[in-house]
């Protein structure tokens, strides 16, 4: 199980085991409430390495207005961001960005914090 961290809280996220290992994931935002996973999958199916799409829903199964798509090839991921950002899906232009999900893992967050170097320009005095 992978521990996640956001908003000062830490939890175990079992849903990450559903995704391919070492994938390249994009965040898809501004989804209308009627967008299903099948619609999202269809919107990105032109990319051969598309592995999975998921619309995030609340406990009542209502869309939260965003989702994620996973690619196995980094070039497909980059093309999807470039070509699909601001494209129309259902009744809205969607936002497509690189997902920062790995940055929210507890282990990755600790590593990032240790590697920061302070220069004389950004150090606190």
Per-10-residue mean pLDDT, the chain, length 125: 76 78 95 97 98 95 96 98 98 95 60 50 51
pLDDT tens track for 49-72: 999 999 999 999 999 999 999 999
Reported as type and span, the H/E element at residue 57 is strand 50-57
Asked if residues 32 and 67 have their Cβ atoms less than 8 Å apart, the reply is no
What is the predicted pLDDT for the residue at 115? 47
3-state helix, strand, coil in the chain (%, to 5): 30, 35, 35
What is the predicted pLDDT for the residue at 1? 62
Asked if residues 84 and 94 have their Cβ atoms less than 8 Å apart, the reply is yes
């Amino acid at each position: 199980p992978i521990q996640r961290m956001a908003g000062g809280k830490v939890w175990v996220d079992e849903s990450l085991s559903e995704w391919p290992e070492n994938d390249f994931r994009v965040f898809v935002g501004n989804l209308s409430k009627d967008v299903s996973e099948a619609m999202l999958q269809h919107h990105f199916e032109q990319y051969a390495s598309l592995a999975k799409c998921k619309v995030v829903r609340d406990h009542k199964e209502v869309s939260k207005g965003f989702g994620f798509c996973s690619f196995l090839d980094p070039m497909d991921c980059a093309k999807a961001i470039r070509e699909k950002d601001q494209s129309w899906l259902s009744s809205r232009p969607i936002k497509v960005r690189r997902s920062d999900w790995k940055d929210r893992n507890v282990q990755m967050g600790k590593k990032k914090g240790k590697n920061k170097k302070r220069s004389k320009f950004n150090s606190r005095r």
